[in-house]
Amino acid sequence: MVKKNRSGPTAERYIEATLALIAERGGSAQVNLREISRRIGCAHTNAYNYFEGLEDLLLHALRRVLRQYGDAMTSGLDGTLSGYAFFRRMIRNMIEWSIQNPGLHRFISSDPIDPEKLPGDIIETVTLMKKWIAQVLEVLACGRLDEKGLTRMVDVVLGYLDGEVFNLINGRFLPGEDIAGRVIDNIECLFELLTSHHHDGLVLSEQADEPGNLRFPKMEIR
């Protein structure tokens, strides 16, 4: 088997062209090797010099998008923020990236990808991102949630957020509505409800008002 050169400038052009088409078409379903190759001025058979096929190319594009999403999630998050502001900035980052990149959001969130064929490094990246969100919520909960409670909270928060984001990118909202603000308020409400069973609810707006009181984890995607 001939080793594929996936790190050279032409391979990079294939990945960039793939991402551009995914963004334009609203997902990866309408993207194929012929169109990608045409975009960079090559015959579609040339793609096989760099990738095993479309699936392999899409996986390389997926790695790139996950890194972009991870960078967007953590943008502006530092020790100058209170716990309340950190939480709201994190959620707003996730919402705004998805609104600005609806095709890429569908690519990583709902486009059909066989989980059995996902490489270990992509699974590791997704797991790392989810774990980071759990660590942030654990800090906000002041360590008073067990692992089961944190897992449930992350699943509920991300499930609700994903549903709202799809409403947003599909244009299902009222004109003039501050959708992002409403979603953030609702997620804060979910946080309080999910911590109320054992701890009488942890109200974010009353926690760590002074910047630097809490030490949040950093996320680094390799």
Q: Is residue 106 part of a domain?
A: yes
**CATH code: domain of residue 80:** 1.10.357.10
Whether 2 shows a pLDDT value over 50: the answer reads no
Integer angstrom CA distances of residue 1 from 14, 49, 79, 136: 21, 11, 50, 45
Claim to verify: residue 106 and residue 30 sit in the same structural domain: no
Q: Could you list the residue range(s) of the whole structural domain that residue 15 is in?
A: 9-60
46 plus 91 within the same structural domain: no
**Number of domains the chain is built from:** 2
* Domain assignment of residue 1, yes or no: no
Residue-wise pLDDT tens digits, 31-75: 999 999 999 998 888 889 899 999 999 999 999 999 999 999 999
pLDDT, tens digit (0-9, with 9 covering 90-100), for 77-120:
987 888 888 888 999 999 999 989 999 999 998 888 877 888 99
With b meaning 16 or more CB within 10 Å and e meaning fewer, what string describes 128-160?
ebeebbbbbbbbbbeeebeeebbeebbeebbee
Q: Please report, for the domain that includes residue 14, its CATH number.
A: 1.10.10
pTM listed for this prediction: 0.83
Longest dimension (CA), the chain: 63
Check residue 177 and give its pLDDT. Answer: 72
- 168 or 195, which is more confident: 168
Res 141: pLDDT: 80
Q: Are residues 41 and 127 in the same domain?
A: no
